[in-house]
Amino acid sequence: MRRKAEAGPPANGTMEFSKDKKIIFSGVQPSGNLTIGNYLGAIKNFGLFQETYNCLYCVVDMHAITVRQDPAELRRRTYETLALYMASGLDPEKNVLFVQSHVPAHAQLGWVLDCFTMFGELSRMTQFKDKSAKNAQNINAGLFTYPSLMAADILLYQVDLVPVGIDQMQHIELTRDIANRFNQIYSDTFKVPEAYIPKTGMKINSLADPTKKMSKSDENQNACVYLLDDRDTIIRKFKRAVTDSDTVVKSAPEKDGINNLMTIYSCFTGKTFEEIEREFDGRGYGDFKLAVGEACADALSPLQTEFHRLMNDKAYLETVMKNGSDYASYLANKTLSKVYRKVGFIAK
Ligand code: TRP
């Protein structure tokens, strides 16, 4: 019998996962301009893990085409998302940063998992229902099976933790169900991952309607602050933020607008709600909104400078992508070949 030797890690990279660290995976779609919601809820926290975990962060361009994209825009946003990861403090020497379509194993495992995901399960996904309502003229099969591709993203890497916003919880639950189902039929193959939902800032709401999540696809430009907005725009948007008819800067359950602004201010300054209430004691909403705008602009300024520097160095970004996908492919193919063998495909 012929047995193929397992390929070793790629020779070009400096990356090597340590055996005794847990594995983290997360993905961000390169669709729409990233907002402070994406930043505070996800990307900013990613940097906290890089010393203590083995981390993979993926730009999920294959998920992005489940809604129609302009090709040139998609390419630009893919570079931008990677540049934003790095400008937010993710060191490409310590994290595996890569683009989903560069690692064919995602599509390959995605197909296999499609065959282990039930029509009924996919029909219950709230993101599918929301997106089909928004794109009634393009409810394609990819939009429907989006969660099994997401399961493939995660399960390929034997991931322990998946940092995501609360809106992705249902997809992570489904990923766990798929993993357990496969493991039960074929013996242990996949690690069953857990969601990791950061405590503060996991959900930043719209400035125009603070009962809804801040969404990069919102048509109202005043609803979200983009990571690349300039200082004046940021301050103007916060000045216009919808609040309530009270005047005291104090958190209360029904004060969605103020709660949201306090969360944003707290994330950027590290101050607690009590500290914020004391700081603005005797001052009105106007002062507070200006302070939130300034804190946000100050915090984003160095990130923006680094982002523009990286975007002017495409060759470097391409090197990062290439090294990232080489290492990711090496890890992913180990899982994929196990899966192929277990389901009964003949080894090449
Ligand atoms: N569905 C996620 C979102 O819309 C993006 C995503 C795709 C993802 N694959 C993933 C997140 C794997 C975490 C892990 O935000």
Predicted confidence (pLDDT) per residue in 75-127, tens digit: 999 999 999 999 999 999 999 999 999 999 999 999 999 999 999 999 999 99
- Does the predicted model carry a pTM greater than 0.85? yes
In whole angstroms, what is the distance from residue 261 CA to residue 24 CA?
A: 30
Nearest alpha carbon to residue 56 among 92, 88, 32, 80: 92
Q: Are 305 and 328 members of one domain? A: no
Nearest atom, ligand 1, residue 63 CA: 7
Instruction: Give the closest residue (by CA) to ligand 1 atom 14.
Output: 26
Q: Give the residue numbers annotated as catalytic, written as ranges.
A: 131, 213, 216
Domain of residue 242, residue span: 221-309
Tell me, yes or no, whether 6 lies in a domain.
no
Atom of ligand 1 nearest to the CA of 42: 15
In a domain, 2, yes or no: no
- Tell me what percent of the residues of the chain surpass a pLDDT of 90: 81
If asked whether residues 39 and 173 sit together in one domain, one would say yes
Task: Please state the separation of Cα 36 from the chain's center in Å.
Answer: 12
| 144 falls within a domain | yes
What radius of gyration, in Å, describes the C-alpha atoms of the chain? 21
The answer to whether position 4 is within a domain reads: no
Residue 207: pLDDT over 80: yes
State both tokens at 10.
Answer: 């790629």
Q: Are residues 71 and 144 in the same domain?
A: yes
pLDDT band at 43 (very low <50, low <70, confident <90, very high): confident
The total number of structural domains in the chain stands at 2
Give yes or no: residues 328 and 287 share one domain: no
Looking at the structure, tell me whether residues 90 and 104 fall in a common domain: yes
Per the listing, tokens 């090709």 go with: 71
Read off the tokens for 319. Answer: 């090197």
Write the CATH number for 237.
1.10.240.10
- Predicted confidence (pLDDT) per residue in 268-279, tens digit: 999 999 999 999
Checking if the pLDDT of 131 tops 70, the result is yes
Residue the block writes with tokens 């300054």: 269
289 and 157 inside one domain: no
The pLDDT value recorded for residue 34 is 86
Q: Are residues 162 and 113 in the same domain?
A: yes
Same domain, 69 and 168: yes
CB atoms within 10 A of CB 90: 20
User: Could you give the CA distance from residue 110 to residue 292 in angstroms, rounded to a whole number?
Assistant: 42
Residue nearest atom 6 in ligand 1 by C-alpha distance: 27
Residue 199: band (very low, low, confident or very high) from pLDDT cuts 50, 70, 90: low
Q: pLDDT by residue (tens digit) across 294-331?
A: 999 999 999 999 999 999 999 999 999 999 999 999 99
